[in-house]
């Protein structure tokens, strides 16, 4: 019995020491994507942001220390049509001249069981900051960590699409934001 | 005299006039919406155009099936040979265009990355992948076929006018319900 306990303790110590030995930090920009989905006249549409930067550090064994910061270059948007790309950087939408970036800063990460987690944080778009929470999955594949998540925002909460565009029967209020981040593990210095 | 006219049956008439009405909606809408600046109205008009167009496609398929399973009333024996030939060619071309135009519109929409969701409810499959060049090509095809449609509908109506006011025969009445003609 005692020896069994010792094995359990030892192996869990090993596992946690292994886990804390890697921290997923370096975002692979060319493999990571931030995409979004919305409905326009009932038609599902997809778009993406070509340019964004992310600083994250994630160690599943030390969730309290997990951090993420993502900045999206709004002018890099691809809504799927050129006409719309020109439109959405304009004043009624993102007003990208005055607010070139959208930013997410995490305030906490909690485990939901298995490989599922939830990040909470502040999302700032067009000068407005609101709390959001984004469930995501994390998979470590050797030194590669894959983060996949999706959350929904309401565009009108951020005044995205003002004036005539505020009509949500044409462009739906709900915008699903999907992220797929590939991070490379860096050995922990400590 | 009137009762002796050999008319199309009710199904054929209903389909004919419904399709005519919808073409008179879809065509000007297509021309008009194209040059609108991007706005919710433009997005709505595009959707309405697509919904009407797909409705035309379904009705025309029904018409073609009707035409294959029914024999239309024979033309008056006095009809000149050239009129029989020209009218058959025109009608055949109209059927062809009314299938090809909505199909090209559907494919164009898919190629441009905008799925067609009929009346905002029924999603039609995207039969081609998103592809900018193909989208532009199909837009040109759609436009070109519409020029033909415009010309043929013009001919079609000109023929009706000729029969009605020059020949004073009862070709138009064949496509009109009994109560609507003298
Ligand atoms: C018999 C049915 C139809 C008729 C008579 C029709 C007619 C037209 C016409 C006249 C135009 C304007 C062309 C131009 O000015 O460039 C147009 C444009 C257009 N049509 Fe149709 N159409 C039909 C069906 C459809 C369908 C079924 C769809 C899609 C599902 C569709 C999608 C479009 C689109 C997207 C445009 C705009 C093209 C562009 O912006 O370049 N049409 N149509």
Mean pLDDT of chain B: 94
**pLDDT tier at A81, thresholds 50, 70, 90:** confident
- B2-180 in CATH: which number? 1.20.950.20
ipTM: 0.83
Q: Chain A to chain B, count of Cβ pairs less than 8 Å apart? A: 41
Give the pLDDT confidence score for residue A188 in this predicted structure.
58
* Residue range A88-142, pLDDT digits in tens: 999 999 999 999 999 999 999 999 999 999 999 999 999 999 999 999 999 988 8
Over 80: is that where the pLDDT of A20 sits?
no
Q: Whose CA is nearest to atom 6 of ligand 1?
A: B27
CB of B34 sitting under 6 A from ligand 1: yes
> Which residue has a Cα nearest atom 36 of ligand 1?
B30
pLDDT for A1 beyond 60: no
pLDDT at A14: 46
Tens-place pLDDT, residues A50-75: 999 998 889 888 999 999 999 999 99
The answer to whether residue B38 neighbours chain A at the CB level (below 8 Å) is yes
Q: Is A45 on the interface with B (CB under 8 A)?
A: yes
pTM of the full predicted structure?
0.87
Is it the case that residue B1 has pLDDT exceeding 50? Answer: no
Q: Is B139 in the pocket of ligand 1 (CB under 6 A)?
A: yes
Task: Indicate the average pLDDT of chain A.
Answer: 88
Nearest residue (by CA) to ligand 1, atom 17, is B30
Of the options 2.40.50.140, 3.30.365.10, 2.40.128.110, 3.40.640.10, the CATH number for the domain spanning A23-187: 2.40.128.110
Question: Do residue B121 and residue A42 have CB atoms under 8 angstroms apart?
Answer: yes
Instruction: Check whether A2 has a pLDDT greater than 90.
Output: no
Residue A170 at interface with chain B, using a CB cutoff of 8 Å: yes
Helix H, strand E, coil C: the string for chain A is CHHHHHHHHHHHHHHHHHHHHEEEEEECCCCCEEEEEEEECCEEEEEEECCEEEEEEECCCCHHHCEEEEEEEHHHEECCCHHHHHHHCCCCCCCCCCCCEEEEEEEEEEEEECCEEEEEEEEEECCEEEEEEEEEEEEEECCEEEEEEEEEEEHHHHCCCCHHHHCCCCECCEEEEEEEEEEEEEECCC
Ligand 1 atom, smallest distance to B60 CA: 1
Lowest-confidence segment of A6-10, A25-29, B115-119, B168-172 by average pLDDT? A6-10
In the stretch 21-40 of chain A, residues with CB closer than 8 A to chain B read 40
**Residue A23, pLDDT score:** 81
Q: How confident is the model at residue A17 (pLDDT cuts 50, 70, 90)?
A: very low
The domain ranges of chain B are 2-180
When comparing pLDDT for A186 and B69, which is higher? B69
């Amino acid at each position: 019995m005692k020896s069994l306990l010792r094995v359990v303790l030892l192996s869990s110590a090993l596992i946690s020491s292994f886990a804390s030995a890697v921290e997923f930090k370096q975002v692979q920009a060319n493999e990571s994507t931030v995409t979004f989905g919305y409905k326009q006249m009932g038609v599902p549409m997809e778009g993406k942001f070509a340019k964004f930067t992310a600083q994250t550090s994630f160690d599943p064994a030390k969730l309290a220390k997990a951090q993420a910061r993502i900045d999206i270059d709004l002018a890099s948007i691809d809504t799927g049509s050129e006409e719309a790309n020109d439109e959405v950087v304009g004043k009624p939408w993102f007003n990208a001249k005055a607010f070139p970036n959208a930013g997410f800063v995490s305030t906490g990460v909690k485990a939901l069981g298995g490989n599922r987690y939830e990040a909470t944080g502040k999302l700032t778009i067009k000068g407005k900051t609101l709390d959001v929470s984004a469930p995501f999955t994390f998979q470590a594949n050797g030194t590669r960590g894959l983060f996949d998540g999706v959350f929904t925002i309401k565009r009108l909460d951020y005044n995205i699409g003002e004036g005539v565009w505020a009509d949500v029967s044409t462009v739906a209020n709900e915008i699903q934001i999907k992220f797929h981040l590939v991070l490379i593990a860096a050995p922990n210095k400590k | 005299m009137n009762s002796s006219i050999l008319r199309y049956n009710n199904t054929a008439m209903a389909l004919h006039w419904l399709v005519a009405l919808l073409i008179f909606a879809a065509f000007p809408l297509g021309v008009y919406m194209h040059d609108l600046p991007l706005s919710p109205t433009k997005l709505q008009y595009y959707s309405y155009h697509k919904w009407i167009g797909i409705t035309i496609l379904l009705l025309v398929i029904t018409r073609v099936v009707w035409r294959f399973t029914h024999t239309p009333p024979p033309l008056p024996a006095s009809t000149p040979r050239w009129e029989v030939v020209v009218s058959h060619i025109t009608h055949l071309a109209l059927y062809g265009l009314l299938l090809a135009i909505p199909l090209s519109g559907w494919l164009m929409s898919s190629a441009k990355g905008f799925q067609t969701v009929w009346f905002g409810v029924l999603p039609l499959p995207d039969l081609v992948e998103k592809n900018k060049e193909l989208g532009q090509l199909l837009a040109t095809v759609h436009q070109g076929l519409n020029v033909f449609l415009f010309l043929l509908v013009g001919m079609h109506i000109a023929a009706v006018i000729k029969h009605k006011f020059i020949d004073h025969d009862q070709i138009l009445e064949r496509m009109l319900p009994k109560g609507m003609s003298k």
